[in-house]
Amino acid sequence: MAGLSTTFSGNSWYSEGLNPGAGLFNLGFSTVKDLDDDEIDAKFAAFNFQPRIGYFVIDNLAIGLDLMAGIVREKDPDDSDTWTVTTLGAGPFVRYYYPMEKIYPFAELNVGFGSTKYKSEYGEEYSYESKYTNFVYSAGIGAAIPLGERVTFDALAGYMSSTMKEKDEEYSDEMRIGTFGIKMGFMVYFGATE
């Protein structure tokens, strides 16, 4: 990984915790059924997208920006109750490659800022909405496997910490979630790669 180059990728972050039904850059549909209790059923639809653009500032060191947009919707099949979670965010990343002949090990750090909105609708009678600010950081190690001159398949194992704080003047709620996960995706390189 030499020279100056911009990058664009889509990644999947499994075991994210808050978003059942899909990881980042995924579309998912899930059903939940409690076999012992007919009252506990749910259907989930989820979409999460995380594009990334970066730039090699020196040989083997890339910095850039991650963007994130996601939505999870749960519906009770027995009535019209729905719960929707919408998330938007952005943040910088830095990745250092150690080039080898057929594989490029790397270490990566990410920081993200954003907002999450929860909305509950119980038929036409009642609805509730809450908004949270998000702060996320993650670190991991992985490897990029070249699939051609300008494409790699990336796999990363790491830890992510997400802190959510409710934006409400009368009520304060803060939650922190720690996740160990696997991140996978394809990286496409534009510009000089020599």
Residue-wise pLDDT tens digits, 90-137: 999 999 999 888 899 999 999 999 988 888 887 777 888 888 888 989
Res 12: pLDDT: 36
Q: Is the pLDDT of residue 8 over 50?
A: no
Q: Tell me yes or no: is domain 5-191 CATH 2.40.160.
A: yes
CB of 180 within 8 A of CB of 140?
A: no
> pLDDT at position 140, please?
94
Read off the pTM. 0.70
Mean of the per-residue pLDDT values for the chain? Answer: 76
List the one residue out of 102, 95, 101 whose CA is nearest residue 156. 95
Question: From start to end of the chain, where are the E strands?
Answer: 5-13, 26-33, 41-49, 51-58, 61-75, 82-97, 104-122, 126-146, 151-166, 174-191
Judge whether residue 10 has pLDDT over 50. no
Compute the average pLDDT of residues 44-70.
Answer: 84
Structure-token match 């922190």, residue found: 176
Q: How many percent of the chain have pLDDT more than 90?
A: 18
What would the mean pLDDT of 174-194 be, rounded to a whole number?
Answer: 76
Which distant-in-sequence residues (6+ apart) come within 8 Å of 57 by Cβ? 4, 63
Q: What percent of the chain has pLDDT over 70?
A: 71
CA dihedral 164, 169, 171, 173 (to 10 degrees): 10
Q: Which range is least confidently modeled, 18-27, 58-67, 93-102?
A: 18-27
Contact criterion met (CB below 8 Å) for 52 and 11: yes
